């Protein structure tokens, strides 16, 4: 029997909260940590968060808050009522400081989104950035720590250098995880589950390789087995 490894976060990127809850139930004790993103936010994502928390699991709200500071502070304060464990905000200094103020008095941990894993250097140049992904990520990690958040979202390609430069205390949550042989889809900077953890990630986020698998429980169990020795 495979038991959950809390470093594995399964993304509930599904069309309805009913479908998401069905997946949670089917995965049982194989998965302990779930990500709820923007797809489910308007479909009752916060109610789903409370339901998952009441079942004893952990929840990562990947909402990537980005607005004027006053709005981000109020939104973060509202989100704390759901009992989630992790929340993402874009890694801009004023936005992160506002979220830190908004989560005061709660156990919510905040993650600054550095550079999304669907972006590569060419796409960043097209968007007008003067720096490539690596340099932009490292600068945003610095700003995240200065703002008082608990960690960052970054690809495994940057995780090793982040860990070496900034130490063991910060969380590094790594999306774009694809087990060997999986379709990379729209991701540009990907890694296998074990390699991401070896390179410094504290948590890995896996979506389609589990939630779109013919046998999601077996897929999650295989990932747990892969990372067990890391």
Angle at 222 between CA 221 and CA 223, to 5 degrees: 90
* Dihedral sign for Cα atoms in the order 24, 25, 26, 27: positive
- CA dist., res. 30 & res. 206, Å (int): 13
Label residue 89 left, alpha or beta by phi (over 0 means left) and psi (-120 to 50 means alpha).
Answer: beta
Residues acting as catalytic residues? 64
Q: Under 8 Å CB-to-CB from 13, ≥6 apart: which residues?
A: 35, 37, 39, 207, 208, 211
Tell me whether strands 171-174 and 203-206 are parallel, antiparallel or unpaired. parallel
Tell me whether strands 151-153 and 8-11 are parallel, antiparallel or unpaired. unpaired
Question: Of 71, 79, 78, 61, nearest to 98 (Cα)?
Answer: 71
Residues 129, 169 contacting (CB under 8 angstroms): no
């Amino acid at each position: 029997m495979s038991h959950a490894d809390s470093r594995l976060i399964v993304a509930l990127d599904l069309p309805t909260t009913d479908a998401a809850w069905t997946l949670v139930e089917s995965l049982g004790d194989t998965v302990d940590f779930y990500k709820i993103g923007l797809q489910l936010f308007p479909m009752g994502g916060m109610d789903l968060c409370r339901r998952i928390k009441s079942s004893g699991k952990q929840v990562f709200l990947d909402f990537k808050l980005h607005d004027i500071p006053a709005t981000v502070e109020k939104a973060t304060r509202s989100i704390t009522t759901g009992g989630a464990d992790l929340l993402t905000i874009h890694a801009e200094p004023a936005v992160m400081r506002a979220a830190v103020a908004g989560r005061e008095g709660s156990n919510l941990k905040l993650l600054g989104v550095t550079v999304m894993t669907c972006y590569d250097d060419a796409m960043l140049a097209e968007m007008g950035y003067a720096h490539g992904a690596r340099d932009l990520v490292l600068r945003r990690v610095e700003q995240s720590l200065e703002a008082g958040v608990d960690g960052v979202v970054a690809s495994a390609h940057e995780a090793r250098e982040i860990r070496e430069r900034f130490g063991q205390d910060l969380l590094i949550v790594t999306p774009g995880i694809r087990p060997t042989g999986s379709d990379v889809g729209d991701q540009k900077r990907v890694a296998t589950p074990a390699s991401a953890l070896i390179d410094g990630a504290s948590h890995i986020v896996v979506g389609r390789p589990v939630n779109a698998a013919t046998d999601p429980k077996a897929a999650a169990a295989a990932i747990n087995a892969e990372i067990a020795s890391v």
